[in-house]
Structure 1
Amino acid sequence: MAADGMVLTNHDHQTRVGILTVSDSCFKNLAEDRSGVNLKDLVHDPSLLGGVIAAYKIVPDEIDEIKETLLEWCDEEELNLILTTGGTGFAPRDVTPEATREVIEREAPGMALAMLMGSLNVTPLGMLSRPVCGIRGKTLIINLPGSKKGSQECFQFILPALPHAIDLLREATVRIKSTHAALEQLPSPSSLLANTHTNAHSNMHTMERGTQCEEEEDEEEDHSRGHHVHNHHHPQHGSSHITAADIAAKVTGRRDAKRPVLLLKT
């Protein structure tokens, strides 16, 4: 597919995806669009999304040109998914999020959060990315980083939810019901909740025993001085000392310790 943005084959039964590379250097043929080309391969891979590349284009870091392409692909071509790559950082000409925000009708903050969380798990530089994800009509737009590695990893962070998100937007009722039914069959994290409940009771009993021992020691000390004092201090019921960090540690402990290195290029 040439960089002139010509739309390719239309397959209504498949996920139709547009890849928009936002880069001054790529637009001027001063650099190779490794990120956009790689994203086309990822989208087409049947073991991943299994979509069809319906459109591909390279534009400079100009907000009007980004908006024009997004509007055309959403309103005229009615693509299911648009992946932008590049222009999401802090540089003065990084305006992809601003252009995207002017086009979308509804934001999808959970998808942007998933990418940021995944990025921060491998590098603190992930906080320098400003992705915007949102919906216009029945098209989902996702901002990805500009590097090949960064865009691939962020694509993989949101991949588990992409098929269902697209089904919801095009109202694929049968597939939606099938996914919801499958989710209902997944086991709840009962073991985690049970452990939390058990630890809460254990901590409460420990607190009560500690308070009782302190009371007995105080009474013995007062007796030795000839003054018996009744201590009316009671533990605060409901204080389990189970924090969000404790729960998060149980969850993250199940994950693979090996994580890829994320190289961000905006």
Structure 2
Amino acid sequence: MSVNESYFVGILTVSDTSAKNSEKDLSGPGLKNVFLEANSRSKIPFKVAKTKIVPDEFNDIQDTVKQWCDIEKLDLIITTGGTGFGIRDITPEAIQPILNKFCSGITQAMLSASLQKTPFASLSRPISGIRGNTIILTVPGSPKGARESVEAVINVLPHAIDLIRGGKGEDVHARLHQETNVQGSGHECVHVKYEHHFDEIGTTRSFLSDSLSDPVTKRQRKSPYPMISVEEALSIVANHVNVLPTTTVLVDQNLIGMVLAEDVVAKEPVPGYPASIVDGYAVIASDGPGVYPVVGVSIADSNSKPSEDILRPGQIARITTGGAIPNGATSVVMIENTTLIRASDDGLQEEEVEIHVQANEGENIRKIGSDTSVGTIVASKGELISAVGGEVGILASVGVKEVKIYKRPIFGILSTGNEVINHNDPSELKCGQIRDSNRPALLATAKATGFEAKDFGIVKDNAKELENSLRSALSQVDVLVTTGGVSMGEFDLLKPILEQSLGAKIHFGRLKMKPGKPTTFATLPGNSPNSHEKLIFALPGNPVSAIVTFYLFVLPALRRFSGYEKWDYPILQVELANSVSLDPRPEYHRAIISFDKTKGKFIANSTGRQISSRILSMRSCNALLKLPGKTDQLSGLSQGTTVDALLIGQLI
């Protein structure tokens, strides 16, 4: 971009008080002055195009920011207020779900600058990120805190905006490099420095992973991918998953696990004729108790034709459950309330029966459409067809032969590793070999949760072979899941091949969690205007890490693709039956939960030693306990502590 082109800024004040009286807003005008000062001091052409004040309301915050990003196309949005610990402070929670990317470096810079001024800055919860082509920063509501946060990063924002607009940032980069020391208004000098990733000959590269052409001696010793939280990662994945188009399918057992894309109405009434609810006798209620001749029979039989004869006063007809009510009959008396008086000479037919009770009009008769009338909505858009079977039965009963559903994603599973062999290979293991447990486990998990996966087998740690296998698999699926090859070893090739060979974008490559730290998520753009991007989940090779991250990230994405309204897994409050030690990273501890009738609580029993290679820790596991990271103040949780549990299996 040209350095003379303006950067359009929006300033959103989030405050219940200021929303009632705009004169109370000091932070918004203060931030406007920050940008005016930057313009005059450093000739950075910031232009405050939008200002607004909203109360601390989730929808008001989100709607304004979405409007400014998606419609107004602003380059930068600053929200001030609502980032603290107060009950009404919800700005980060409102902004986070609508971000496409997180800018953890900017967030850290703002916090670091504020912490140099006051330790109370640790009570602020800022986030920053990107939506579309707009950078969004959330800063404190105090005028001083807001100013300090923005001034900490204001000199890098032009460069960031230029990159988001699709440029390389040379103009801004060159100009700001000349200003090695930028004197702030009343603040210490700030040294401005921009860094790219360089190879040995000094040329810049756009990827973070090790170059595929470099020897092992040139590999990075620390992961270049910023470590983000599971919550941030889930939000990133969700922003890349859209419900798939619809299709029409037959109503049968294959419908289980699909989500309806439209309301379904009954095409036929249930019942389609007046039917008896019980075994007994069709009568005319006004006849009352007495002995009556049996003049007909009505049974539930699709081959039987309804009699055209009319039941007349003083007559009754034998009838079975589900049988059609004879013309003229107004009630049905149960067989228990009758006595046989006379049979035919051959003893095969009833000729006279005594009725002992007074029947009521309409008694024991199901009227036409009494269960379901034509046009009744029997299933709603967004409804899941469950394995219980009720939904399929309902659709079948009302004459619905096919329904419109959301397509389910096509996805595949691929294992990597020179040491990995098929689990059913008949040969004995050689030194250094392991049997592939990841693929069988994930294929089984997928099937049990309603998704069929393509099995792409095992690929060796060879760059060209792996690239070809990935290309082939991605041409056949919407979502590809791989296991192994994402750590820091010389044969961990997934990240560099995704970035450098396939042109995929890695959105995260390291997570603050145990197990599953090196979990990687990438997207590959469609190769035509009408094709959609492919999702790639590169999961760790350790079997427990692979299964846990499959439940945490892959299955929710598949469910969201398929139209599930509740696509994440339910969380229960459970009581620990054992004391547990904590890890510095938040942990997803495998456990077996059951309901204790005496306590009236769900109780969680650990599955034992939790190292990520020990797949025995998944045995009978039906829940992942969400344990916090270890701190100086908290090294473990005692028996009886209540924690959140992600339910992944059936309760026992």
Structure 2 residue matching 1:160: 3-state secondary structure: coil
Residue 83 (structure 1) shift: 0.5
Higher relative contact order, structure no. (Cα contacts within 8 Å, ≥ 6 residues apart): 1
Alignment equivalent of 2:26, drawn from 18, 21, 34: 34
Matched, 1:176 2:190: no
Q: Which amino acid is 1:20 matched to?
A: L
Instruction: Tell me what 1:249 maps to.
Output: none
Matched, 1:87 2:82: yes
Instruction: Tell me what 1:54 maps to.
Output: 49
Q: Distance in 2 between matches of 1:150 and 1:156?
A: 10
Structure 2 residue matching 1:17: 3-state secondary structure: strand
Q: Distance in 1 between matches of 2:155 and 2:6?
A: 17
Q: Distance in 2 between matches of 1:23 and 1:181?
A: 37
Instruction: Tell me what 1:18 maps to.
Output: 10
Structure 2 residue matching 1:92: 3-state secondary structure: coil
Matched, 1:129 2:124: yes
Structure 2 residue matching 1:83: 3-state secondary structure: strand
Whether contact under 8 Å (2:78, 2:137) holds in the other structure is: yes
Residue 180 (structure 1) shift: 6.4
Whether contact under 8 Å (1:18, 1:83) holds in the other structure is: yes
**Structure 1 residues 178 and 91, CA, compared in 2 at 3 Å: closer, same or farther?**
closer
Residue 40 (structure 1) shift: 1.1
Residue 30 (structure 1) shift: 7.1
Matched, 1:98 2:90: no
Residue 178 (structure 1) shift: 5.8
Where in structure 1 are there 5+ consecutive unaligned residues?
1-11, 189-266
Which digits, 9 at most, give the CA deviation of each residue in 1:166-199, with x for residues without a partner? 11111234x436616976998x9xxxxxxxxxxx
**Structure 1 residues 19 and 181, CA, compared in 2 at 3 Å: closer, same or farther?**
closer
Q: Distance in 1 between matches of 2:176 and 2:118?
A: 34
Q: Which amino acid is 2:160 matched to?
A: A
**Structure 1 residues 22 and 181, CA, compared in 2 at 3 Å: closer, same or farther?**
closer
Alignment equivalent of 1:159, drawn from 154, 174, 189: 154
Residue 163 (structure 1) shift: 1.1
Q: Distance in 1 between matches of 2:91 and 2:66?
A: 14
Which digits, 9 at most, give the CA deviation of each residue in 1:177-230, with x for residues without a partner? 6616976998x9xxxxxxxxxxxxxxxxxxxxxxxxxxxxxxxxxxxxxxxxxx
Q: Which amino acid is 2:33 matched to?
A: D
Q: Which amino acid is 2:91 matched to?
A: T
Any residues of structure 2 matched to 1:201-220 within 5 Å, and which? Answer: none
- The higher radius of gyration belongs to 2
Structure 2 residue matching 1:37: 3-state secondary structure: helix
Where in structure 2 are there 5+ consecutive unaligned residues?
181-192, 196-652
Instruction: Tell me what 2:112 maps to.
Output: 117
TM-score (norm: length of structure 2): 0.26
Whether contact under 8 Å (2:75, 2:135) holds in the other structure is: yes
Structure 2 residue matching 1:126: 3-state secondary structure: helix
Whether contact under 8 Å (1:168, 1:176) holds in the other structure is: no
Q: Distance in 1 between matches of 2:22 and 2:149?
A: 25
Give me the identity figure in percent: 43
Which digits, 9 at most, give the CA deviation of each residue in 1:54-106, with x for residues without a partner? 11100000011100001000000110000000000000110000111011110
Whether contact under 8 Å (1:83, 1:143) holds in the other structure is: yes
TM-score (norm: length of structure 1): 0.61
Larger fraction in strand: 2
Q: Distance in 1 between matches of 2:78 and 2:32?
A: 10
Instruction: Tell me what 1:205 maps to.
Output: none
Aligned length: 175
Which digits, 9 at most, give the CA deviation of each residue in 1:7-63, with x for residues without a partner? xxxxx9200000000000000117521110111121123125431111110000001
Whether contact under 8 Å (1:23, 1:59) holds in the other structure is: yes
